[in-house]
Amino acid sequence: MVKVLVVEDTPSERDLISLYLREGGYTVIVANDAKAALDETAQQKPDVVVTDVVMPGMNGFELCRSLKKNEDTKGIPVIACTSKNQELDRLWGMKQGVDVYVTKPFTREEIIRAVKSVVG
């Protein structure tokens, strides 16, 4: 069973992404912010991380950099799910190590396709 960590500070968005992924057959872990996500990643070892970019404290790009710098988590694919939809944002995200970039609003299919593209 593929385990997905959803990192989103807006409860309604977090619930929606979690629902779509559970319906898609994935096990879902949630974190409200990037700091909690780093703890969850260390403990739960998710197969993929789906993260918002704009969050209080550490943002999603900083979270991605932290995961990619760490020997234990660098292989975990990161999907950015964000309202930042400019080409510059996408390029910056890829520079930070983001594997797939999904913009809000998204469909159930887009989220599932993004996860499938990195974990099969």
The strand order across the sheet containing 27-31 reads 27-31, 3-7, 48-51, 78-82, 100-103
Q: What is the DSSP letter of 107?
A: -
Tens of pLDDT, residue by residue over 16-65, are 999 999 999 999 999 999 999 999 999 999 999 999 999 999 999 999 99
| 83-94: average pLDDT | 92
Helix (H, G, I), strand (E, B) or coil at 117: helix
Q: Report how far residue 42's alpha carbon sits from residue 72's, in angstroms, rounded to the nearest whole number.
A: 8
CB atoms within 10 A of CB 12: 8
pLDDT at 72 over 80: yes
The arrangement of secondary structure in 3-119, i.e. its CATH architecture, is: 3-Layer(aba) Sandwich (3.40)
pLDDT at position 84 is 87
Is 69:100 a contact under the CB 8 Å cutoff? no
Q: Where are the beta strands (DSSP E) in 61-113?
A: 78-82, 100-103
pLDDT over 90 (residue 15):
yes
Residue 10's closest CA among 39, 50, 52?
A: 52
pLDDT the model gives residue 64:
98
Q: Are 83 and 60 in contact (CB under 8 A)?
A: no
pLDDT tens column, 94-115? 999 999 999 999 999 999 999 9
